[in-house]
Chains A and B, each alone.
Chain A
Amino acid sequence: MDESQLIARVRAGDSAAERALYDAHVDRVYRLAFRLAGDDALAQDFTQETFIRAFDRLGSFRGDAAFSTWLHTITTTVVLNGLRKVKRFRQREADIDDAHDIGVVRRHAEPDLKVRLKQAIDDLPEGYRTVFLMHDVEGYTHEEIGVALGVETGTSKAQLSRARAKLRVALADFAGEWVQ
């Protein structure tokens, strides 16, 4: 059975078809959510929310684009909105923690590549980071990213280029590794 038939069955209320559609896409949705969130619990929440919204709104899916493209548009919306809320909440907690830590001297070990890379990617502006993770890490095309984020393909390419440039500067200490 092809995907359009599966979607028609879901629209008709077939729960087995819902599960089949979920099984076909859940791995990629979860992967993207995890890459963006970096937390298993959050990634699960975002994945669940994505499928709940997708099943509720399947009637509005017109089939102009691939179902996976439509689904990843929902995924990025759910994840980015969710992360903004989490970020604000964590920032508020961090403000309180910082107030308690006044006078405490912290020692930082020399970070290795993994730590520095994580810091550099986390420090990217949201748009750059999202495009970089979707394109270079998860393998989405610029066309898919453009649809998912509601931006032009050229914008996606430009943001990727700027993200790489920022990462290159941030990781300059490791230049020996990629020159070899």
Chain B
Amino acid sequence: MTQEHEDPKFEQWLKDAARTTYHAPRTPPREEMWARIEAARRDKHVIELRPWLRWAVAAAAVLVLGIGIGRWSRNAPAGSKAAAGTQVANEIDSLASVAYQVAATQYLSRTEAFLTSFRADANRSTNTARLAHQARELLATTQLMLDSPAADNPRLRALLEDLELVLMQISLLNPVQDGHDRDLITQGMNQTNVLPKLRSAIPAGPVPVRRTEGAL
């Protein structure tokens, strides 16, 4: 049944006009594309990490390593611990704890600064592309953390999931029509209390820089 707003004449005219004039495709260069596909698949194991991704991977690696060492040192049998020596075990615990604290604090502080800045500028439509770029960087780290043992902590996991959602929304902001979207994201941030939760997860005071020497 033809609905009231449908107009078969218009639809046919539109189809014909769009097919012939809108981005009318050329003949695809099959051989050139195939050569590049083969080359890319040959070299797929060589991945060059971008600087921000290197940072993210390093942060996540430190988290995994730190937590892993921490658990190992806590869960090791008493006999082996004694054999290794109390002092060594304590140092491993301390190192893991510091490494984890530094990596997590850096990530959480950076995210807190970013979201605070975003909320403060929520009514402006400037720098959307830069915001989206920064959100993508933080999103990558968030997702790495979600996949790490750090996410075994239910509270931290809940916070990371909230951050993932907010960062995902910011990374997809449309530079042209972002005013309304920004308002919605800010409302969502306020409703979920993500910033207060984030701030409470950041340890008070500066990161103990001297103690991190050799840990990272």
Q: Do A and B bind each other?
A: yes
Interface size on B, residues (CB 8 A): 37
Verify A88–B132 contact, CB threshold 8 A.
yes
Known: A55-B41, A136-B11. A48 touches B36 (CB 8 A): yes
Of the candidates A48, A121, A168, which one forms a contact with B37 in the assembled complex, judged by CB atoms under 8 Å apart? Answer: A48
Residues of A within 8 A of B133 (CB): 88
Instruction: Say which residue of A27, A37, A40, A168 sits within 8 Å of B7 (CB atoms).
Output: A168
Partner of A26, one of B12, B33, B129, B175: B33
Q: Complex formed: what's the CA distance from A31 to B23 in Å?
A: 9
Question: Nearest chain-B residue to A179 (Cβ)?
Answer: B9
Task: Tell me whether B129 and A164 are in contact (CB under 8 A).
Answer: no
Measured between alpha carbons, how far is A178 from B8 in the docked complex, in Å? 9
B22 touches A27 (CB 8 A): no
Pick the most buried of B33, B40, B175: most chain A CB atoms within 10 A of its CB. B33
Q: Size of chain A's interface in residues, with CB distance under 8 A?
A: 46
User: A78 on the interface (CB 8 Å rule)?
Assistant: no
Name which residue of chain B comes closest to A54, CB basis.
Answer: B37
Q: Does A43 touch B at the CB level, under 8 Å? A: yes
Chain A, 33-47, CB within 8 A of any chain B CB: 34-38, 40, 43-44, 47
Q: B21 interface residue, CB < 8 Å from A? A: yes
- The answer to whether B172 has its CB under 8 Å from any CB of chain A is yes
Docked CA distance A132–B17 (Å): 13
> Which among B24-32, B89-97, B100-108, B191-199 touches the partner chain?
B24-32
Q: What are the 5 A-B residue pairs with the smallest beta carbon separation, nearest first? A: A178-B13, A30-B28, A34-B25, A91-B175, A92-B129
Q: What are 13 A-B residue pairs whose CB atoms fall within 8 Å in the complex?
A: A23-B30, A44-B32, A44-B33, A44-B36, A47-B33, A52-B44, A56-B41, A91-B128, A92-B175, A95-B129, A137-B22, A164-B11, A178-B7
